[in-house]
A and B are shown apart, each in its own frame.
Chain A
Amino acid sequence: MDFVTILGDSLQQALGPTAIIYCLAAIGLNVHFGYTGLLNFGQAGFMMVAGYSIASAVTVFSTSLWLGVLVGLILTVILALLLGVPTLRLRADYLAIVTIAAAEIIRQTVSGAAFSDTFGGQDGVTDFISGFRAVNPYSTSLDLGIVEWSANDTWVMTVGWTMVAVSCLIVWLLMRSPWGRVLKSIREDEDAVRSLGKNVYAYKMQSLVIGGLFGAMAGFAVALRSGAVGPSFFATDVTFFAYTVLLIGGAARVLGPVVGAIIFYFLITGLGTFFSQATRGADPLIPAAIMDSQQASLMRFIFLGLGLMLLMIFRPQGIFGDRRELAIDAR
Chain B
Amino acid sequence: MPADATTPETTPDTTTGNATGVDVAAARAALKDVAREPGAAKPDPILVADGIKRQFGGLTAVDVAHVEIQRGVITALIGPNGAGKTTFFNLLTGFDRPNEGTWSFNDRSLNKVPAYKVSRMGMVRTFQLTKVLSKMTVIENMRVGATGQRGEGLFSAMFAPLWRSEENANTTRADDLLERFLLIKKREDFAGSLSGGQRKLLEMARALMANPELVMLDEPMAGVNPALKQSLLGHVKSLRDEGRTVLFVEHDMDMVRDISDWVIVMAQGQIVAEGPPDAVMSDQAVIDAYLGSHHDQDLSEEMEAQILAEAQAELEGRHEAQHMPLEENRG
Contacts and interface: CB of A to CB of B under 8 A. Distances in A.
A74 interface: no
A198 B159 CA distance: 20
Interface in B137-167: 140, 143-145, 147, 149-154, 157-160, 163, 167
A196 B143 contact: no
Contacts of B127: 191-192, 195
Contact of B147 (A188, A197, A325): A197
A196 B206 contact: yes
B115 A179 contact: no
Nearest to B126: A195
A329 B192 contact: yes
A193 B116 CA distance: 8
Given A184-B136, A189-B133, A196 B145 contact: yes
B136 A188 contact: yes
In this complex, which of A177, A182, A188, A191 has the most chain B Cβ atoms within 10 angstroms of its Cβ?
Answer: A177
A125 to B, nearest CB: 33
A178 B125 CA distance: 21
Nearest to B143: A181
Given A177-B163, A197-B147, A328-B192, A185 B136 contact: yes
Interface residues of A, number: 34
Contacts of B206: 196
Given A185-B136, A202-B1, A177 B151 contact: yes
B134 interface: yes
A90 interface: no
A157 B319 CA distance: 78
Given A173-B158, A191-B131, A197 B119 contact: yes
B329 interface: no
Contacts of A196: 116, 119, 124, 144-145, 147, 206-207, 209-210
A199 interface: yes
Contacts of A193: 144
A182 B141 CA distance: 10
Contacts of B150: 178
A185 B133 contact: yes
A181 B144 contact: yes
B119 A195 contact: yes
Nearest to B159: A173
Contact of B3 (A177, A181, A188, A203): A203
Contact of B140 (A177, A181, A195, A330): A181
B147 A178 contact: no
Given A178-B163, A181-B140, A324-B190, A197 B210 contact: yes
Contact of B119 (A170, A194, A202, A325): A194
A179 B116 contact: no
Given A191-B127, A206-B3, A179 B152 contact: yes
A195 B125 contact: yes
A40 to B, nearest CB: 18
Tell me which of A174, A197, A199 has the highest count of chain B C-beta atoms within 10 A of its own C-beta. A197
Contacts of A197: 116-117, 119-120, 124, 147, 210
Nearest to B151: A178
A222 to B, nearest CB: 27
B134 A329 contact: yes
B190 A174 contact: no
B93 interface: yes
Given A176-B160, A195-B95, A197-B147, 19 more contacts: A170-B158, A173-B158, A174-B158, A177-B160, A178-B150, A178-B163, A179-B152, A184-B140, A185-B136, A191-B131, A195-B115, A195-B119, A195-B124, A196-B116, A196-B119, A197-B117, A324-B190, A328-B135, A329-B134
Interface of B: 1, 3-4, 93, 95, 114-117, 119-120, 124-127, 131-136, 140, 143-145, 147, 149-154, 157-160, 163, 167, 190, 192-193, 206-207, 209-210
25 contacts: A173-B157, A173-B160, A177-B151, A178-B143, A178-B157, A178-B163, A179-B154, A181-B143, A189-B133, A191-B115, A191-B131, A192-B132, A193-B144, A194-B116, A194-B119, A195-B131, A196-B119, A196-B124, A197-B120, A197-B124, A197-B147, A198-B144, A199-B3, A199-B116, A328-B134
